[in-house]
Amino acid sequence: MARIAVLTGEVIGERLAGPAIRAIAIARALANDPGSQHEVILLAASVDDGVAEQVSNGGFRLGMLSNETAEAASQSEIIIVQSDLLDRYPVLAASDACVIADLYDPYHLEVLEQSASLTPERRRATIAASVAAIGSLLARGDLFLDVGGRQRDLWTGALASAGRVNEFTYADSPDLTRLMLTVPFGLNAQAPEPATSEVLRGAREGVGNKVLSSNDIILWWGGGIYPWFDPETVISATASLAAEGHPVHLVFAGSRHPNPDVGETPAARAARDYVDKNALNEVVTFLDWVPFADLGGYLLEADVMVSAHRDHVETRYAYRTRLLDGLWAGRPTVATGGDDLMSSIAAAGAGIAIAPGDVDGFANALRVLLDQSTRERFSSCALTHAKGHTWGVALAPLVEWCRAPSRAPDLKSGVALAPKNPSGLRRSIGSAARRTGLRNKGNSATR
């Protein structure tokens, strides 16, 4: 049994963003681990009292982050933390707890785009702050969570550069499996339930009073609209099909972020302006942000999941959690390729990956999926692929680790990771290598 604090800088309420969804899933899995009797608390930037009991299901406590609650959390045996919270609450970093740094979201790469509209000075400061926050996690973490694939390589390189891949952590596990755990984002093992009444089809105020019939093909953009995404490509592809007479309708599920610090992003406003400019309001709808408890009902009324992003460094290391919606609901996905998750979805026959900015390619993929029998074939593959992506599967390594937590051996040793005079040390090592002949072994250039 351990006292565990799970911390997120996001809002926990009726509407949830990815980091909050993940924090809730982690807290729930640890609180209900049959192999332990952990005492778990989840602390968030703010909590809506109306959903507190629904979120925790009585399995863990829920509270708001503050200096006082962070101080109390620092007394836990295990602290699981996201983003910049170690910098916001230094008492956590100073704790003797096992600190688990959840690195599933490489947000310092997102900031490169998010800060583009700022003044040069503010942009530089914003980027520097995100990099420093990542640095704090890398320096203090006892365990690091990645989502696997290319992202594991990203964080391996980052940890090596931070001095955390050293003689202590290497001796502990040469493959670094005791320093890093692959813990992807997951999905609910329980199938989504239909809404008690129609949420997308039929006359409804939330869809702009548009009437969507059972014959309409609804394209669903799950999640928010951020600068690295490319809603214009999907909008243009939808417009092409509509101009051909196909009954398609595009719905954006999250044009206004539930975190008031984010709200409606400039990218979301630009997408609305693009729709207005091209007189496409009859085929495109923007919803503010779908309540998390209602999401399944919306997905089951949609026909095809869509997402598009620009060619950006963030893409290579991202884990597009919205792509899991198609697997959960058994719906085909058409999305820009380039990230590991979409590659796996396409390989499983559950979706079609498109090159960045390829409007014609996107329209052609959607055109293929206008056929119901084709959609059903893709849907079957999606449901099969979903079985390997449930929260139970994703969180199993973390649940097991928390049964016998331990501090990272290099931090526990108390030995400084960086020598005070690294250049002098390198000269000393080089001199020893020359004396013993190690410098020439295996070096074809000296043979």
Q: What is the pLDDT of residue 421?
A: 52
pLDDT per residue as tens digits for the range 11-23: 998 888 889 999 9
Q: How far apart are the first and last CA of the chain?
A: 59
**Rounded Cα gap, residues 425 and 422, in angstroms:** 5
Per-residue pLDDT band at 49 (split at 50, 70, 90): confident
Residue 385 · residue 330 · CB < 8 Å: no
Q: In the structure, what pLDDT confidence band is assigned to residue 439 with cuts at 50, 70 and 90?
A: very low
Name which of 184-198, 238-252, 415-429 the model is least confident about.
415-429
pLDDT digits (tens, 9 = 90+) for 243-276: 999 999 999 998 888 888 788 888 899 999 999 9
With tokens 């192999």, the residue in question is 35
pLDDT bin (cut points 50, 70, 90) of residue 415 is low
Buried b / exposed e along 321-333 (16+ C-beta atoms within 10 A): bbbbbbbbbbbbb
8 A C-beta contact, residue 191 and residue 331: no
pLDDT of residue 355: 96
* pLDDT tens column, 359-371: 999 999 999 999 9
More confident residue, 444 or 432: 432
Per-residue model confidence as pLDDT tens digits over 96-137: 999 999 999 998 998 998 898 899 999 999 999 999 999 999
Task: Please tell me the predicted confidence (pLDDT) of residue 162.
Answer: 95
pLDDT of 195:
86
Domain 205-389, CATH homologous superfamily name and number = Glycogen Phosphorylase B; (3.40.50.2000)
Name the residue with tokens 């799970």: 6
Is the dihedral angle over the CA atoms 231, 127, 157, 139 positive or is it negative? negative
Predicted pLDDT of residue 205: 53
Query: Considering only the top CATH level, what class is 3-186+392-413?
Result: alpha beta
What is the pLDDT, as a whole number, of residue 203? 52
pLDDT of residue 441: 47
Work out the average pLDDT over 360-383: 97
Tokens, residue 403: 């049964």
Domain limits, the chain: 3-186+392-413, 205-389, 419-447
The reply to whether domains 3-186+392-413 and 205-389 share a CATH topology is: yes
Residue located via tokens 């105020």? 205
Structure tokens at 92: 């956590």
